[in-house]
Amino acid sequence: MKLLRIIQAALCVLLLLPFSVGVSLASSGGPALPQQSWGFHGPFGQFDTAALKRGAQVVVEVCLACHSLKYIKFDQLKQVGFTEMEVNALASTAGKNRKDALLSAMDADAAKESFGIVPPDLSLMTKARKGYENYLYGILTGYLKDEDKAAVDRALEDDTVSDAEVKELAMLLSMDPHHPDKIREVARRIKSGDNFNKFFPGNFFAMPAPLAADGQVTYRDGTHGSIAQMSHDAVTFLAWAAEPTMADRKSAGIKVILYLIVLTVMLYAVKRRIWARIHH
Ligand code: HEC
């Protein structure tokens, strides 16, 4: 009896463990990531084909200027619903043909010269960062708007940043108002033209806002390309790129579970049959 209790308690701890780990990860510094809904999450979730096609367009037209997705070939985009003609058209916007991988037009040396760092390959990016899709969405939407930058400039105008201005900046930059010196320093770097992003750890990095204007991408399906829409679509496509076989994996998983349920019911029926004879 006592042993059973101990096992029960141990099971409870084991079951709760993943939740506590999740909470501690979520609370480790910086503002909370935007929690977007991703239709492809969960055991039955599948990719939205229209979003994937839009996302591919954003990634090819915008991100490929600097980044590569070396594990994906243009031809593979047929899997997200493009026809061969559309694949050819998309490849040619990037100066490639459909047999090529999604490689950036910019070579590593040129990138290093411009940015001081080679932009990382995006093939597996949704799996490579804490926060996954929400982090990527955060990065794409976490830049300051023009009016926020103007507010920073205003606060720095007379070279002293008053306490009231520090408070305003803290709100604007999602920073802790209890570190005014840090806020002043960050404001000065923003004014000098460094790329500030609310969700990048440390706030400053080498990527200028890639999706900076509403309608930057003219979607072929007529959807309005707001920054939020383009970001959500691009991240959806990057999630597919990181796992193009997700749909197959999930449908195989569902079949296996159905098979196991049927098998369990049959084995239970057989067991009852056999033991019924032995009891009598
Ligand atoms: C003008 C060039 C340029 C464009 C266009 C661009 N990036 Fe970047 N990106 C960079 C550079 C440079 C870095 C490296 C930044 C650093 O680590 O300082 C980077 C880094 C990243 C990172 C990694 C952030 C991290 O946590 O390390 C992600 C994710 C990313 N870019 C996504 C995108 C997406 C998605 C697009 C298209 C919508 C895009 N980028 C377009 C230059 C660019």
Q: Which atom of ligand 1 is nearest to the CA of 116?
A: 12
Q: Decide whether any atom of ligand 1 lies within 6 Å of the 72 Cβ.
A: no
Ligand 1, atom 6: closest residue by C-alpha: 63
How many A from CA of 207 to the centre of ligand 1? 5
CA of 50 to the centre of ligand 1 (A): 24
8 A C-beta contact, residue 245 and residue 78:
no
Where do the structural domains in the chain lie, given as residue ranges? Answer: 31-143+205-245, 144-196
Partnered with residue 143 across adjacent β-strands are 197
Sequence-distant contacts of 212-218: CB under 8 A, at least 24 apart: 212/143, 216/62, 217/54, 217/57, 217/58, 217/61, 217/62
The DSSP 8-state label assigned to residue 121 in this structure reads P
Angle between helices 84-93 and 49-61 in degrees, nearest 10: 30
194: Cβ–Cβ under 8 A, 6 or more apart, which residues? 204
Q: Which fold has domain 31-143+205-245?
A: Cytochrome Bc1 Complex; Chain D, domain 2 (1.10.760)
For ligand 1, atom 15, the nearest C-alpha belongs to 206
Whether 199 contacts 138, CB under 8 Å: yes
Ligand 1 centroid – CA 64 distance (Å): 10
Alpha-carbon distances, residue 272 vs 83, 94, 262, 265, 280 (angstroms): 55, 65, 16, 11, 12
Taking the C-alpha atoms of residue 55 and residue 64, their distance in angstroms, rounded to an integer, is 12
Question: pLDDT tens digits, the chain, 280 residues: what are they?
Answer: 576 677 777 766 666 665 555 444 444 567 999 999 999 999 899 999 999 999 999 999 999 999 999 999 999 999 999 999 999 999 999 999 999 999 998 999 999 999 999 999 999 999 999 999 999 999 999 999 999 999 999 999 887 888 899 999 999 999 999 999 999 999 999 999 999 999 999 999 999 999 999 999 999 999 999 999 999 999 999 999 999 999 999 999 999 999 999 999 999 999 999 998 876 5
HSE (CB half, 13 Å, CA atoms) of 21?
7
Cβ atoms of 203 and 186 within 8 Å: the answer is yes
- Please name which of 117, 125, 126, 175 lies closest in space to residue 148, comparing C-alpha atoms: 175
Tokens of 125: 């990016």
Position in ligand 1 atom list of the atom nearest CA 106: 2
